[in-house]
A and B are shown apart, each in its own frame.
Chain A
Amino acid sequence: MTTTATSALADSELPRLRLDVAPLLLLPILALLALPLVGSFPTWVTLTIAGLAMGMMIFIMASGLTLVFGLMDVLNFGHGAFVSVGAFTATLVLLPMQGWMQADSVLLNLSALGLAIALAVLVTGALGWAFERVIIIPVYGQHLKQILITMGGMIVAEQMIHVIWGPDQIPLPLPASFRGVLLFGDVAVEKYRLLAVAVGLIVFAAMFLVLNRTKVGLLIRAGVENSEMVEALGYRIRRLFVGVFVAGSALAGLGGVLWGLYREMLTAAMGSDLMVPVFIVIIIGGLGSVGGCFIGAMLVALVANYAGFLAPKIALVSNILLMVSILLWRPQGLFPVAKR
């Protein structure tokens, strides 16, 4: 490069897009602040890991929802139904395969789990496709009807779970090798929570790669900002949207399996019970932002865990307090999505 070229370049150099780090810093700051308050290091580690595990599960369930909203301005109030259906579908594999589940072999345990997840993801994905066809298509662009209709869809789905699996709760024991705790000195960590964190990280990494390194991912991000322009460039946004909806439903199903095993007890309403934290997470994160959703999920879960230990009464409304304070700081959420 010649000197004139460099000087010309320096001349009109743009301010670099500042990476918005403030929200990223919230997590470590929160964790560090909690440490002296909690007092004991082992307890703090346990709480933090429990929070992260829960946050990962919430993220898995919420990510699809926020993308669907960003892309098509559709908010599915029935998203929780996919969580429940995913968990109940997993019992079709996990309960008959108790032999593998309770065998003293990580490989057999994981295989059973993998099969269950595969089935749950397939079923919820297919259900998502049908849901989109039947329930969502007629109410595009009509928020009021969307809310009502997806709520109605959720009622029907939950009732169908009762019809198929009966009215009672279903116990779902953890696989043998993920029961109990791992001890690192004084620090006790539940094995299953580590598994949940690992799965969550894998999902997040996979989503990150897809959204940043593939053309489909670029189209999704572009569509979140300006779906009309994506159409005008010659892509059928509908197909993209159906894909994202199916993927989001499948992720909710995966989250449902993880969540069901975490609670070791399934109820038809387990998904809809989670919708409040899920909504708070996507509001905090900025509607449509996957990164924001991830940070939001971690924040909500960590705050809930720390508060639950420090001041159980406050913990009940910690979600709301967190949401209000974040929105006072950034009214559009942590990572506002640019809209045309």
Chain B
Amino acid sequence: MLSLTGVHTHIGQYHILQGVDLVLPHGELTVLLGRNGAGKTTTLRTIMGLWHASRGALVFDGSDITQTATADIACAGIAYVPENMGIFSDLTVHENLVLAARDGEPDKARLEWIFGFFPALKKFWNQAAGTLSGGQKQMLAIARAIVEPRKLLLVDEPTKGLAPAIIQSLITAFRELKAMETTILLVEQNFNFVRSLGDSVAVMDDGRIVHVGPMAELSENLDLQQKLLGLSLDTHQ
């Protein structure tokens, strides 16, 4: 579905991505782990075209998107949920979703499906998004990314700062999406959250991918966890 080959990204004078190689197979949920500053968010933003790679190639669905503009990448079928959620707080929930639908109103049936796991959105349909709670904003941000079917979903740390009950509804949402064979790249620090969701896992450090493998392997192998994540767990607990 998406492949990154030797991707380097510079932000100003800082060399953040130093040769990222990553392949996202169709219909799988890949979890991207790593400590803060490892380059996870930069990877997502580079895929989205918000920062352009200075070297290397990104191929999505058979076409090269290395230098493509963000809007065209979005239209090609990639949806992005940034870490800060990117909610338009001045607009209502409804209006936020209208903008996410390519033309006009979102599809009714699909909305009902989303309300199934994010009921709050229905309740606050005509409220300004800025008045929602953090968890509800996250629901809206994800809803906006899936209000129409997209080929690939990029989600940046959705559980950050959320209550367990809300994390549960996010898990439900991702299960539903997996059932529909959506390809997902999920950046997370919360290993417990992704343990049950991920098909495969990639670990980043210092702007490179240092490990790729099936989720099952990592969640069963404590030594490997220690080796790859010890650093991140230690420094962040």
Q: In their complex, do chains A and B touch, with some C-beta pair under 8 Å? A: yes
Q: Can you pick out 13 interface pairs between chain A and chain B where the beta carbons lie within 8 Å of each other?
A: A229-B88, A230-B99, A231-B50, A232-B50, A232-B82, A234-B74, A235-B71, A236-B69, A237-B71, A337-B90, A338-B90, A338-B130, A340-B84
**Chain A residues near B98 (CB-CB < 8 A):** 215, 218
Are A17 and B70 neighbours in the complex by a CB distance under 8 Å?
Answer: no
**Chain A residues near B99 (CB-CB < 8 A):** 215, 218-219, 222, 230, 233, 235
Best-surrounded residue of B74, B88, B127, B131 (most CB of chain A within 10 A): B88
Are B127 and A14 neighbours in the complex by a CB distance under 8 Å?
Answer: yes
Whether, in the assembled complex, A9 has its beta carbon less than 8 Å from a beta carbon of chain B, the answer is yes
* B84 to A, closest residue via Cβ: A340
Shortest C-beta distance, B76 to chain A (Å), equals 9
Whether, in the assembled complex, A273 has its beta carbon less than 8 Å from a beta carbon of chain B, the answer is no
Best-surrounded residue of A9, A215, A231, A235 (most CB of chain B within 10 A): A231
Q: Is the interface of B mostly helix, strand, loop or mixed?
A: mixed
Are A222 and B82 neighbours in the complex by a CB distance under 8 Å?
Answer: no
**Chain A residues near B90 (CB-CB < 8 A):** 221-222, 224-225, 337-338
Shortest C-beta distance, B86 to chain A (Å), equals 4
Whether, in the assembled complex, A104 has its beta carbon less than 8 Å from a beta carbon of chain B, the answer is no
Q: Which residues of B, 72-100, contact A by the 8 Å Cβ criterion?
A: 74-75, 79-80, 82, 84, 86, 88-91, 95-96, 98-100
A binding-site residues for B, Cβ under 8 Å: 9, 12, 14-17, 215, 218-219, 221-222, 224-226, 228-237, 337-338, 340
Are B86 and A228 neighbours in the complex by a CB distance under 8 Å?
Answer: yes
Q: How far is the CA of A340 from the CA of B128 in the complex (A)?
A: 16
**Chain A residues near B88 (CB-CB < 8 A):** 221-222, 225-226, 229
User: Contact flags (1/0) for B135-163 with A, using CB distance below 8 Å?
Assistant: 00000000010000000000000000000
* B49 to A, closest residue via Cβ: A231
Q: How many residues of B contact A (CB 8 A)?
A: 33
Whether, in the assembled complex, B57 has its beta carbon less than 8 Å from a beta carbon of chain A, the answer is no
Task: Add 12 more A-B contacts to A9-B123, A221-B88, A231-B69 (CB < 8 A).
Answer: A14-B133, A16-B127, A215-B99, A221-B91, A222-B88, A225-B89, A228-B86, A229-B88, A233-B99, A234-B102, A338-B89, A340-B84
Shortest C-beta distance, B223 to chain A (Å), equals 39
User: Contact flags (1/0) for B198-222 with A, using CB distance below 8 Å?
Assistant: 0000000000000000000000000
B binding-site residues for A, Cβ under 8 Å: 48, 50, 69-71, 74-75, 79-80, 82, 84, 86, 88-91, 95-96, 98-100, 102, 104, 120, 123-124, 127-128, 130-133, 144
- A-B pairs with CB below 8 Å: how many? 76
Are B70 and A232 neighbours in the complex by a CB distance under 8 Å?
Answer: yes
Are A218 and B71 neighbours in the complex by a CB distance under 8 Å?
Answer: no
* A15 to B, closest residue via Cβ: B131
**Chain A residues near B144 (CB-CB < 8 A):** 233
Q: How far is the CA of A316 from the CA of B96 in the complex (A)?
A: 45
Are A234 and B75 neighbours in the complex by a CB distance under 8 Å?
Answer: yes
Q: How far is the CA of A152 from the CA of B36 in the complex (A)?
A: 45
Are B127 and A17 neighbours in the complex by a CB distance under 8 Å?
Answer: yes
Shortest C-beta distance, A16 to chain B (Å), equals 7
Q: How far is the CA of A337 from the CA of B96 in the complex (A)?
A: 17
Q: How far is the CA of A266 from the CA of B219 in the complex (A)?
A: 77
**Chain A residues near B100 (CB-CB < 8 A):** 233
**Chain B residues near A17 (CB-CB < 8 A):** 127-128, 130-131
Shortest C-beta distance, B58 to chain A (Å), equals 15
Are A232 and B74 neighbours in the complex by a CB distance under 8 Å?
Answer: yes
**Chain A residues near B80 (CB-CB < 8 A):** 232
**Chain B residues near A221 (CB-CB < 8 A):** 88, 90-91
Shortest C-beta distance, B87 to chain A (Å), equals 8
Are A340 and B91 neighbours in the complex by a CB distance under 8 Å?
Answer: no
Are A231 and B89 neighbours in the complex by a CB distance under 8 Å?
Answer: no
From known contacts A219-B99, A226-B88, infer whether A231 and B71 are also in contact, taking CB-CB under 8 Å.
yes
* B80 to A, closest residue via Cβ: A232
**Chain B residues near A234 (CB-CB < 8 A):** 71, 74-75, 102
Are A340 and B86 neighbours in the complex by a CB distance under 8 Å?
Answer: yes
* A228 to B, closest residue via Cβ: B50
Q: How far is the CA of A340 from the CA of B102 in the complex (A)?
A: 23
* A14 to B, closest residue via Cβ: B131
Q: How far is the CA of A234 from the CA of B80 in the complex (A)?
A: 10
Are B89 and A218 neighbours in the complex by a CB distance under 8 Å?
Answer: no
**Chain B residues near A9 (CB-CB < 8 A):** 123
**Chain B residues near A231 (CB-CB < 8 A):** 50, 69-71, 74
Q: How far is the CA of A224 from the CA of B88 in the complex (A)?
A: 9
**Chain B residues near A229 (CB-CB < 8 A):** 82, 86, 88
Q: How far is the CA of A23 from the CA of B69 in the complex (A)?
A: 40
Shortest C-beta distance, B140 to chain A (Å), equals 12
Shortest C-beta distance, A36 to chain B (Å), equals 38
* A222 to B, closest residue via Cβ: B88
Q: How far is the CA of A329 from the CA of B154 in the complex (A)?
A: 42
**Chain A residues near B124 (CB-CB < 8 A):** 14
* B141 to A, closest residue via Cβ: A229
**Chain A residues near B50 (CB-CB < 8 A):** 228, 231-232
**Chain A residues near B71 (CB-CB < 8 A):** 231, 234-237
Q: How far is the CA of A236 from the CA of B154 in the complex (A)?
A: 20
**Chain A residues near B84 (CB-CB < 8 A):** 340
